[in-house]
Each structure stands twice: as structure tokens, then as C-alpha cells.
Amino acid sequence: MYNTILSLAVLLLLLQGGHAPCTDIRNCVNEYISGNDFYFYRTWWNLTQVPSDIPAEARRVDLAGNAITSLPAGVFSHLSQCRILSVDNNKLTCVDRDAFKGMVSLALLFLFKNKISHVEPGTFRPLLKLSHLRLEQNEISSLSSRQTPDGTLQTVPPDGNISHIDIGTFLGPNSLRDIALYHNQLCTIKSGWFSGMYALERLNLMFNNISSIEKGAFDSLHSIKSIQLSNNRLSTLSPDLFSHSPRPLELILTFPLQPHEEGLLLNNPWNCTSLCWLKLETQNGTIKWSPFVAEPQCTDGALWASLRCSDEGESACSHNECCLSSTFQPQIAASLQEHTVVCTDSLLS
């Protein structure tokens, strides 16, 4: 009976040639009940703001593919039962600190493919059950750590328009297990940005402009299983970065590029002879590669597959056996020049 009513509602909507307003959840094309869960959908409606008629009993709210530009304070405060919120593929530039206040049941939050440049500290603090946060493909360039006299945190860019996430942004949802920050504009990962994230299992930082990672940056990640760092500007990694990380640990350092992507996307220009500690850990099985990624792409003349290291983690590479000192890849050097960005992290310390 319910399927018949739903089919009639769809037919009526098509005959009207547009979107019918939702007055009864049993007759509404964009709201439906599955078991005890109530889903609210307004996808690809060209909405410019969050609709005011989202029922309080909604367990999933999907607003993807619209033209929403901001999430004001309290806009979801009545959705205490909502577990999944999707506001991806919109035009978000502003997320108020109290936008998610009252969403005590939220577990999955999708904000990817927007134009978010700044998220205030404490924004995610009310989300005590948050486990997955997707912020990839926005316009985030740094996470600020500068303390102001009144106790707030801010960045001080030279030109006034550097986008950032403040330190403390992720404090609060201790259940957070997955953060996606790939396809942003991060240049440096600083110590303290991920403090308190003891439950985090997956951290995706691919496709940024990261050239350095401070010691202690990952020390709080006691449950981490996978860190994705491919397609950045990193040339080496200190073993101290992962001294507090559990083993086995999956590292994704180089993502294989398709022929049409060569020269357009940047892979890390690794100095492989400085990564003997990593070679030993991969041989021992304490650090593993993801099955769909490539080994480090060396730009120092070494060949990763042939790199021999002593038990102390020093390179025992012989040019006759495992190095091709004359084969430094000039195309990678050119790619580095083409992908050069202005990083202002020195102003944010």
C-alpha cells in the first residue's frame, strides 16, 4: 500500500513538472520512512539556504547538490535524532560555530566539495558521537595555532585572505574515527592540530601542498591505522613522527598517476636514502603499503626496490647495486616548479 502511494506521488510530481511542497511524510517524494528511520531529502533543488521545514524526527538529512552558502547558528538545533547530515556539493563559505548545536546523535557529517575557508574552534564540539567527517575539496590552506590575548585562536595572513581551520576545531568529538582533508591547500602539519583525537583511525591529507610535518603532529593518534600523505611536496619523513603510532600502520605516500595526469598532479619527491628506517619497517611488516598505491618515487637517484639498509636504518646503497645517480628525474623537478605555491606557515608559528 505504501509503495502504491509513493508511486502515485512520484507520478503527480512529474505531471506537475516541478517539486511539490511536503506536507505529509507519507505523500512526499523527498521524505520517506524506512523501518524506524525517517529520511529527509532535498538534493539538487537549487536551494540557497537550509529549508525550515526539516522535521525534528529526521534521522538522515541530505541537502547535497544545492547552492547553500552558509550554515547559520542553530539551523539544525532541533535535529537531536539526526545521525547523518549531508551538505556536500554546495557553495558553503561560512559555517557558524553553533551551526551543529543540538545534534547530539550525529555520526556522519559530509561537507566536501564546498568553498569553506574557515571553521571556528569548537564548531564540532557538540557532536559527541561524530565518527566520520569529510572536509575534502574545500579551500583550507592551514590550521592556525596563534593565541590572541582574549584566548581565541586565529591566523595572521600577510594579505588578509588566507583560509584556515583553527586549532581546537576537532576537539570535542572524541569518537571521531575518520577525517578527510584531501584536495585542500595545507602547506605544513603542525604539532597539536590533532590533539585529543585518540579514537582517530584514518587521516587523509592527500593532494595538498604539504612540505613539512612537525615532530609530535601525530602523537595523540593512539588508534590510527592509516595515514594518507600522497601527492604533496614531502621529500623525507622522520621516524619520530610515528613513534607513538600503533603497528601495523598503513602509510600511503605515493599514489600512482595515470598517463594523462603526469605533469598535472604532484607526487612527493622522496629522498629515498633518508627513508631507510621506513624500508626496514616495511620489510618487517610493521608499516604496510595500501594495495592500490605505489612505492615511494625516488628523486635522489636511488631505486626504492633495490635500496639496501643496515639494521641501524642507515643506507647501505651502492651505486653499482641499487642507485642510478645519473637518473634524477628532471620532469619531477619541473613539476615541482609548476606546482609551487606561496606558503605562509612561518607567519603562523
For 263, other C-beta atoms within 10 Å of its C-beta total: 14
Is pLDDT at 148 greater than 50 in this prediction?
no
Q: What is the mean pLDDT of residues 144-173?
A: 40
Q: pLDDT tens digit string along 54-69?
A: 999 999 999 999 999 9
Most confident of the following: 9-18, 161-170, 173-182, 322-331: 173-182
Of residues 8 and 212, the one with the higher pLDDT is 212
Residue 262 forms beta bridges with which residues?
A: 265
In angstroms, the first-to-last Cα distance of the chain is 63
Most confident of the following: 126-130, 182-186, 224-228: 224-228
Question: Which pLDDT score, from 0 to 100, does residue 165 have?
Answer: 58
Question: Which pLDDT score, from 0 to 100, does residue 123 have?
Answer: 85
| Domain parsing of the chain, residue ranges | 1-28
Question: Which pLDDT score, from 0 to 100, does residue 118 have?
Answer: 74
Is pLDDT at 289 greater than 60 in this prediction?
yes
Is pLDDT at 201 greater than 90 in this prediction?
yes
Question: Which pLDDT score, from 0 to 100, does residue 31 have?
Answer: 61
